[in-house]
Structure 1
Amino acid sequence: MTQKPRATGQKELTFNNEVVSRFELYNSLFLTLPFYKIKDTGTLLPLFIKHCEDGVKERGKPLDIINSFFEKYTQDNDPKEIIDLLFRFIQYIERQVVLFDAVEDASFNKLNSPDDQSSLHSYLSKGIDNKILKNKIEKLIDEFSLRLVLTAHPTQFYPGSVLSIITDLTSALKINDVSTINQLLQQLGKTPFFNKKSPTPVDEALSLAWYLENVFYFAAANIQADVDHSLDEFNIASRKIIELGFWPGGDRDGNPNVHADATIQVAKMLRQILFRCYYRDFRNLKRRITFRGVEDTIAEVHDILYNNAFDTSIVPENISVFLLEKLNDIKNTLIENHDGLFSGVVDDLIRKVNLFGSHFASLDIRQDSRVLRDVHAYCRRSKPIVSIFPENYDDLEETEKISLLSFKSAKVTYTEEADGLIDDTLQTIAEIKQIQESNGELACHRFIISNCQQALDILQLIELFLWNGWDEEKLTIDFVPLFETVHDLAGAGEIMETLYTHPFYIKHLESRGFKQDIMLGFSDSTKDGGYLMANWSIFNAKVALTTVAEKHNIKLAFFDGRGGPPSRGGGKTHRFYASMGKEIANTNIQLTIQGQTISSQYGSIDSAGFNMEQLINAGISAGIREKHNILLDPLHKDVLDNMAADSYDAFVALRKHPLFLSYLEKFSPLTLLSKITISSRPVKRSSGEQLKLEDLRAISFVTAWSQLKQNIPGFYGIGTALKNQEDQGNWSNIHKTYQESGYFKTIIENCMMSMSKTDFAITAHFAADETYGDFWTMLHNEFELSKTMLLKLAGHDSLMENYPVEKRSIAVREKIVLPLVLIQHYALGQLQHQLDDDQQNAYEKLAIRTVYGIVNAGRNLA
């Protein structure tokens, strides 16, 4: 057995004392929660939990485990009574998850500390006597930025009311205020955890805006203040390095519920919420600054902020420059006439206006390339465009089509009726200009083309802008291709080469400062080719795209579409950025944060600040070192090429297995996910009734496997790949790659995280299933093989051995939700029988309710 380092053991001890022990203490307060039949529920739940644990250890079936519990501990075995009590158990467990979240968040600062050795201040200190290093840092700071983009993906289960309770509960737990904790738990007991109907895109935006207003508004300003102070100490001019992005209301890819009017509403909402934040801060400033010489300016700014925050009748416009001028006037008066008293308070608001302008977060527009092609075809049938293109345009080769594009502004007259998606696209293109005029250019300046497969997809979109109200000389839009599948990632470099050599496109890039954003999707690439192939394909795409950009002197920024779990690009993301070599553009870090990742990593000011700082430190440290990435050396590249190919073959063979989709449909809540009222986005892209894997969203795909506690997308194929290398006598090379490559090590560690949330014991009874027994055994064997090979590679005795706090947290959370997993299997099993409508509805609701708690407890399961 390996001996634990002292620091590792101390962290685990701290976690047990600060989190586990306190959770168990406050968990006893659940006995007073105001639930129906509270006494029976509170008494029976601990017995039920223990019964579930014992049943799983004995490899029992969920149906047998639950039936035996009711036979042993209750007198009434009526199906309705059983369902009623199971619902009450679910209510308890949902709230136990919230309590554990809050206890863990309250202890955040005691459990997490940034690595001071890799901080910006540390590097600046080293540069005092090293002019070359100092110049490098100054250049890096001038170019560096971090953009976090909040997305409306359907894995964020807590409504705003619950988020507010969690925030207050966390604050009370920090000071062990038992009375307040007890009241908040009672409030939690009476507060609904879900919506009765699915939210609209505007509802989703309002829900996520809670984080902007209550977390990011403060956390981003705090981090920027730290950067400003560090740079000022070393006489380096500061600049804005944090940007926020926003997808709800703008992302219409596969979501027919997003319309142009929703986009406008969201832009207005973001602006109004921001000005309420400004007004709140300004009122505090006004209470402090009561001196002569600033009265008129303060009164003027007060009225303007109040009107923009609360008067819905005003015509919105970008007033950030005006605000900065007035705030600087106030600050200068304080410095000149009042010894600078409270000038720091003014500085804080100036910093926030510099960060958030009049828009708060940039609203990205996203649409599928296939829809955009249809819009272009529709426009080509209208005057005067119809005279420019030949009738056989769609049959031509891409190069011929590109040669026919004119890139001239035109006033198109539409005579043919457009369908919903086409009409929405045309309206949105026109309305982006309106949003820029009211909230500033940064309010909405990116159009993301998902499923981008050719340069023509981007060039045709540019024409759509020119045909619908935009001037070729004032095209203040950044066109962002999104490459997702393994095939598209492989061809991305060639596509961008075509664009960079196109005269109009390069002229457009010149007007945008020669900056190009490219989005890379982890979720669909994993669903397409498996975990290892997805990560390796994205790495190779980044290298190729960086090479092409450098060839044409383009400033490249990668926008990573990362989900919560490692199978969708999540996990220890900052380690990926820290491990980039000089061959990959990394001075502009952009990534999506979505689902439970928002609440788990950015749910409080402390955690948001910590995670932003980690990402900034990762980017700075990688930029300072500019090391060659050893994965590009022939030895290591061959190793990863071969492993990725073997893993891909194993995963594709699994996907093509005739039982693959039916297994998910029968044993997971996949077919019920569409009935969960948390998202405006459909579970699958097509509207047809028959479920096809290619139409299934990656989120639903990953969620279904995580509900089964099998997490196949997060590891399947990696065990086979490692074993093949060992059998071929290449183990020493694999081990060398693991030891020397931070990128490969992070892939392995994130894979271990996925596997730590996997428990095949829960579904062990599947092995005896007449239809699916062999299929389950195949999945289980790959898990055991992967676990064995990963532990051997890392030299560990257990998964996540070097992350004791996270490992312990996962173990406690999995224990809390084990009963939910069994209840889900019980309900799904009952749904296999002939039932009347009431019974069908009851068991569906039972299964659906378990999804909430399981996902929330996992924090990055979907």
Structure 2
Amino acid sequence: MDIEHMQKFRPGTMDEALREDIRLLGRILGDTIREVDGAETYDLIESIRQLALRFHRDGDQAAEAELEALLKERPGGQINSITRAFGYFSILANIAEDHHHTRRWRTHLVAGSPPREGSLAAGFARARELGFDTGALRQFFSTASISPVLTAHPTEVQRRSILDTLDAIAALLVRRDRQAGTMEERAEIDIAMRRLVLTLWQTRMLRPTKLSVLDEVENALAFFDATFFAEVPKLYAAVERELGASVGEVPVFLEIGSWIGGDRDGNPFADAEVLRGALARQAERAFGFYSGEVRQLRRELTLASLHVRTTPALQALAAQSAGHIEHQADEPYRLALATIQARLAATHAVLFGGVSEGDALPYETPEAFVAELGVIVESLRENGSALLTHGRLGHLVQAARAFGWTLAPIDLRQNSDVHERTIAELLERAGTCAGYLALDEAGRVAVLLAELATSRPLVSRHIRYGAETTKELAIFDAAAMAHARYGARALRTAIISKAASVSDLLELAVLLKEAGLLHPDTGRLDVNLVPLFETIEDLRAAPEIMDRLFALPGYRALLASRGGTQEVMLGYSDSNKDGGFLTSGWELYRAEVGLVEVFARHGVRLRLFHGRGGSVGRGGGPSFQAILAQPKGAVDGQIRLTEQGEVIAAKYGNPEVGKRNLEVLVSATLAATAEPAAAEPLEPGFPVVLGELSDAAYAAYRGLVYETPGFEDYFWQSTVITEISSLNLGSRPASRAKGRSIEDLRAIPWVFSWAQCRVMLPGWYGFGTAVEAVVAKRGYRGMRLLQSMFQEWPVFSTLLLNMDMVLAKADMRIAARYAGLVEDAALRESIFPRIEAEYRRTCAQLLAITGQRALLDRNPVMRRSIINRFPYLDPLNHVQVEMLRRFRASDGLADEPRERVRRGVHISINGIAAALRNSG
């Protein structure tokens, strides 16, 4: 965007720019619907929008009745068009909003405003204010480990083909702002936008088949093309500039991780073949990128010997290709790059088959590839051409260092119960221990330590094991082969879900030993052993479990081989489902405080891995504030966190937005390390009060969800959980086991279902009751203390501000319509009024503590965003209620009309998820 055009978007005029974009996209979609589906459908959509608006604004019962009657008389095909229309309105509004955020960001940069919170520049400025000089910053980056980890999502809703079309529309919005200087140019862009919206309207919204794990791998790889290949190297370059470092001098501190292909917990489709396939596809994409960049560099680095000098190392590298490319004989850098290109091709041939041209030697490791790129960098720098090291060449060096051969290390994850059964069978079949499952914890630990102390194999190739054990052994064999094929970086973490004891970690250690990934004779461990503490009970036990683990003979030697760092994963989703939002937050905080103390006492470095979802009910919310709210010592330059499938596209689908999100992670980790006491409670009574709140909220939440007779039936009938279970979304089933038990249900569809019906229960339930209990106990001082906690303690304020956003998205009038789907009127009347009363109680107490007059008063940008969605979101909910009624009464219908109704339900699920901007 040129400066003259930028003036249009001064901060005071920015909201109007957003409204203009939303009107433009809405007008194009409306015109498209009118032209394709006819004026009657378009007029009907507008009538539904107006009625839904009246119902939302005034609680107009006549509008509700009219809306219900209008929807009931519509045929299925027309209802589906209506649903798609509101869904696409929401999606296009999201595009406009994302573009607007980027526009605001660029406007402030052009205007020379101070660095925005979360930016890398602001992070450096704050660190220097706190006394971090360049030496301290270099020390931080030399040991830092920051890793967003991509995960697939069992309720991920957007098809890749739709995301690609949306990306193209977003790109046109950018062009319209920055390049459309003439009426003709703007008209050309608008026509192109109309073509894309027409394509979108005529593209199938739903997948015809369920995603496979390898489909999910491909979806994740698209974000490397869109963002990571470009923005990760740029971030490294920005850090190097700040530190005055040369290209490649700053150690690798930021890398993208992945669970896709290695996460077996509850996913029967993830096996050894899938793991091999995931690694191969990632490696293919990496080699394709590296080869393309080297080819481009050969076009750019045309420096001739007549004009430049080169180092002996560069000359030796160039000499390997000199006889093959005579017309470039006097262009040493092009010859050196030809050598590198040939070696990449040879490496590709070794890894994936095929024939490489010439006699080039393959690279044994990605580090060897980086080293030869470094020869070029060094020669340029030493001979007056240092500037040329900071463009494509420097970025390629950074990419190769950050991504290696396989782009993202894949974590293994499996439930501790599966490891337990596998070990039990191996011990029994080997004649070592026939009753392992009957042993107490001390007995199990003794047996496992004995196995870890011997080099004798436990597994025999001559024994035919059960299907589960065979599958698990194959996974670990595939992991060992991945190390041999791609290097140890390809797979370096194995996570134990539902970890609850020391033996859970030792069982995994034995399985790694059997695969050759743990070496008893040398005390070397090739893969990080990572417990995942998920339930409230397990979070409470986590510090004691790690204390006992560190005291075991031999474990510290294994840990030393991993750099003296122990990673621990904390589960936000399941702890929330187990104990509710407030108790989950409190117990996570307590677990971190306890772990920091235990690790400090044992002299072990702690790296926390936060299993956060996109929604607040699963630990979501702004990453910057979440990291800064960690207790003292819980960050220390080390952090991993999951980027859940449903928000990866929103965070990393656009390179500019992706850049900001990567900067936020680095900036927040730097800030939390530079100022570790910032999140400490100013008064010792603060944690005591939060503990009291947690106890009361826990009782209220458990009382509703797990102790109310018929609650499971209420949940299954008043939400879309039944329909979600059959939707072709992610590769994983919605439940870990068959049946309707809430305990067995995955946390993600649990949260997703409550979000769809606008209750958002996992993100707030029990808070209002808890505050009333504390105030009743402590009197008026209780409320004053809670207000002080909000003002002065980031841990508490972060919890409340996230809850504020959830409450603003909830709507009890709409929730009541879903409650009407419950067949048993007595059950409905015994549960929904409790939920509604707690919602109103929670809103009132939140406002009293925060001093707001209305929800989100403190966050006007978020409030505007949510208000802008209601005209598209509310109608989708009303349509969904009607479609659920039809679908649940459709058993007697012929296949085609029943399928049409089912499709309508699923389209509404997609639309609501898009309008809420998270699915679970």
TM-score per shorter chain, which class? over 0.9
Task: Quote the Cα distance in structure 2 between the aligned partners of 1:234 and 1:279.
Answer: 24
Residue 857 of structure 2 is matched in structure 1 by 801
1:433 matched to which residue of 2? Answer: 480
Q: State the Cα deviation string for residues 116-167 of structure 1 (Å, max 9, x = none).
A: 5776656756888997755544433322221000001123322222222222
Structure-2 residue corresponding to 1:20: 19
* 2:728 is the alignment partner of 1:735: no
Deviates most, 181-190 or 392-401: 392-401
Question: Which residue number corresponds to residue 297 of structure 1?
Answer: 336
| 1:532 partnered with 2:582 | yes
1:111 corresponds, among 104, 119, 123, to: 104
TM-score computed with the length of structure 1 as normaliser: 0.92
1:50 has 2:60 as partner: no
Aligned amino acid, residue 795 of structure 1: G
Per the alignment, residue 671 of structure 1 pairs with: 722
Percent identity between the aligned chains?
Answer: 25
5 Å-filtered alignment, 1:368-379, equals: 368-379=415-426
Query: Does the alignment pair 1:209 with 2:267?
Result: no
Query: 1:600, 1:186 → 2: CA distance?
Result: 22
Aligned residues of 1:213 and 1:274 also touching (Cα < 8 A): no
Cα–Cα, structure 1 residues 758 and 446, in superposed 2: closer, same or farther, change >3 Å?
same
8 Å contact from structure 2 (residues 718, 819) kept in 1: no
User: Which of the numbers 396, 401, 404 marks the counterpart of 1:354?
Assistant: 401
Q: Is the 8 A contact 2:493 2:527 kept in 1?
A: yes
Tell me what 1:172 maps to.
Answer: 172
User: Are 2:282 and 1:284 aligned?
Assistant: no
Per-residue deviation, 1:418? 3.0
Between the aligned partners of 2:647 and 2:11, the Cα distance in structure 1 is 23
Aligned-pair CA distance for 1:190: 2.5
CA contact (8 A) 2:206 2:906 kept: no
Please give the per-residue CA displacement for 1:618-658, whole angstroms capped at 9, x wherever unaligned: 12112112216434853111101100001100000011212
Distance in 1 (CA, whole Å) between partners of 2:29 and 2:247 is 55
Q: Give the aligned residue type for 2:86.
A: I
Aligned to 1:7: none
1:447 and 2:494 equivalent? yes
Structure 1's unaligned 5+ residue stretches are: 1-9, 72-76
Which residue of the other structure, out of 312, 321, 326, is the alignment partner of 2:367? 321
Which of these residues, 816, 835, 853, is aligned with residue 911 of structure 2? 853
Q: Bigger shift: 834-843 or 440-449? A: 834-843
Q: How does 1:132-151 map to 2 (within 5 A)?
A: 136-151=136-151
One-letter amino acid matched to 1:303:
A
Distance 1:479 1:47 in 2: 58
Residue 648 of structure 1 pairs with residue 698 of structure 2: yes
Aligned-pair CA distance for 1:550: 0.9
**Partner residue of 1:693?**
742
Could you give the per-residue CA deviations for residues 21-73 of structure 1, whole angstroms, max 9, x where no partner exists? 211122111144378534432333212211232345445599944453269xx
Question: 1:431 deviation in Å?
Answer: 1.2
Label 1:562 to 1:717 Cα distance change in 2 as closer, same or farther (>3 A): same
Moved more, 248-257 or 632-641: 632-641
CA distances 1:64-112 after superposition (whole Å, capped 9, x unpaired): 44453269xxxxx4xxx62111111122222222211222222222334
Q: Distance in 1 between matches of 2:887 and 2:347?
A: 53
What is the total number of aligned residue pairs between the two structures? 839
SS at the partner of 1:193? coil
Q: CA deviation at 1:536?
A: 0.5
Q: Given the alignment, which residue of 797, 804, 810 partners 2:866? A: 810
Using the alignment, how far apart are the partners of 2:414 and 2:440 within structure 1? 23
Residue range with higher mean Cα deviation, 835-844 or 788-797 = 835-844
Q: Which amino acid aligns with 1:659?
A: G
Mapped partners of 1:792, 1:127: distance in 2: 35
| Secondary structure, aligned partner of 1:591 | strand
Aligned to 1:253: 265
2:410 is the alignment partner of 1:363? yes
Distance 1:678 1:834 in 2: 22
State how far apart, in whole Å, the 2-side matches of 1:498 and 1:840 are. 57
Q: 1:658 to 1:256 in 2, by over 3 A?
A: same
Distance (Å, rounded) in 2 between the aligned partners of 1:670 and 1:317: 50
Q: Distance in 1 between matches of 2:869 and 2:621?
A: 17
Deviation at 1:798, TM superposition (A): 1.5
Q: Do 1:242 and 1:355's aligned partners in 2 also have CA atoms closer than 8 Å?
A: yes
Per-residue deviation, residues 274-306 of structure 1 (Å, max 9, x unmatched): 121222322322221122212322112223445
CA-CA distance at 1:828 after TM superposition: 1.7
Q: Which moves more between the two structures, 236-245 or 694-703?
A: 236-245
Q: Does 1:829 align with 2:894?
A: no
Q: CA distance change for structure 1 residues 249 and 182 in 2, over 3 Å: closer, same or farther?
A: same
Q: Secondary structure at the residue paired with 2:374?
A: helix
Residues in 1 aligned to 2:130 and 2:422: alpha-carbon distance in whole angstroms: 56
1:157-200 CA-to-partner distances (Å, cap 9, x unmatched) read 22222222222211110122212211211221222223101011
| CA deviations over 1:585-638 (Å, ceiling 9, x no partner) | 442121001132212222211111112212222121121122164348531111
C-alpha distance in 1, partners of 2:733/2:63? Answer: 30
Q: Residues 218 and 91 (structure 1 numbering): CA distance in 2 closer, same or farther, change over 3 Å?
A: same
Determine the C-alpha separation between the residues in 1 that align with 2:120 and 2:54: 51
For 1:122 and 1:647, the matched residues in 2 are separated by: 37
The answer to whether the aligner puts 1:723 opposite 2:767 as a matched pair is: no
The answer to whether the 8 A contact 1:601-1:607 is kept is yes
Shift of 1:821: 0.8
Supply the AA of the counterpart residue of 2:487.
Answer: G
TM-score when normalising by structure 2? 0.86
Q: Distance between the aligned counterparts of 2:13 and 2:487, measured in 1? A: 47
Question: Are positions 1:752 and 2:804 aligned together?
Answer: yes
Q: Encode CA deviations 1:806-836: one digit per residue, 9 max, x unaligned.
A: 2111222232122211111112223454641
Asked whether the equivalents of residues 41 and 78 of structure 2 are also in contact (C-alpha less than 8 Å), the reply is yes
Structure 1 residue 680: deviation in Å? 1.2
Other structure's SS at 1:324 match: helix
Instruction: Return the offset for 1:716.
Output: 0.3
Match of 2:571 among 521, 524, 542: 521
Shift in CA distance, 753/524, structure 1 to aligned 2, threshold 3 Å? same
Alignment partners' CA distance in 1, 2:12 and 2:341: 51
Equivalent residue in structure 2 for 1:402, among 421, 431, 445: 445
CA pair 118-64 structure 1, distance change in 2 beyond 3 A: closer
Asked if 1:609 corresponds to 2:659, the answer is: yes
Conserved? CA contact 2:757–2:818, under 8 Å: no
Letter aligned with residue 397 of structure 1:
D
8 A contact 1:274–1:358 mirrored in 2: yes
Alignment of 1:116-265 (within 5 A): 116=116, 121=121, 136-176=136-176, 177-232=189-244, 238-265=250-277
212 and 766 in structure 1: CA distance in 2 versus 1, 3 angstrom threshold: closer
RMSD: 2.7
**Alignment partner of 1:332 is 2:378:** yes
Change (3 A) 1:115 1:720: farther
2:825 maps to 1:773: no
Q: Secondary structure at the match of 1:148?
A: strand
8 Å CA contact 1:318, 1:437 repeated in 2:
no
In structure 2, C-alpha distance between the alignment counterparts of 1:516 and 1:774, rounded to whole Å: 48
My pick for the range that moved more, 482-491 or 168-177, is 168-177
Bigger mean CA deviation after superposition, 206-215 or 416-425:
416-425
How far is 1:415 from its partner? Answer: 4.9
2:261, 2:270 within 8 Å by CA — same for their partners in 1? Answer: yes
Q: How far apart are residue 312 of structure 1 and its match? A: 3.8
